[in-house]
A = this chain, B = another copy of it.
């Protein structure tokens, strides 16, 4: 049986730290493209995606649950209700692929965890979801390791840059343009983003329609 992959998703005004380079509607389109990549990777990795949305959202294939409460509160409700192994994976991981997710859900430990950059948590696989509780924001990786330790859960940290790379800021778009293979990369390209190299450092710049022609 496929493992449920719970993917928190904010359809309205997401990724505000990208406001410097994208309008709200573009950020919403880009967030949906990243979500599509995470959904595709979850399916390839043998999971069944279930969106946990902060506002009503229609998705053609994935099951959608709406919970306007905070991320931790809504996730912890899902965890207490779950009776089988569960994956929590963020929706802003456009480099995710089936191989990395399969490594994560194949752990022999009670819990597999993938840290995000800067102390965050990008994905958690739980063999017994009821024994764990989520505590996102801040240095959540350390908090989640402590919660697992208190609960007596064995933990494997999964070593994947594809699941480690979350996209929040302009600099992160470099990773999508270089390593992305799916919708998020195509979305950035259609918005006119290209790589730029200046003084040996790689960044992104946005070409207007006129320049692209």
Contact = CB atoms under 8 A, between A and B. Distances in A.
How many copies of this kind of chain does the complex include? 2
Contact of A141 (B97, B100, B115, B178): B178
B195 A119 contact: yes
A159 B200 CA distance: 24
Interface residues of A toward B: which range?
A: 20 to 34
A139 interface: yes
Nearest to A201: B118
Contacts of A178: 115, 119, 139, 141-142
Which are the 3 A-B pairs with shortest beta-carbon distances? A119-B202, A161-B164, A161-B161
Interface of A: 97, 99-100, 114-115, 117-120, 137-139, 141-142, 157, 159-164, 171, 174-175, 178-179, 195, 197, 200-202
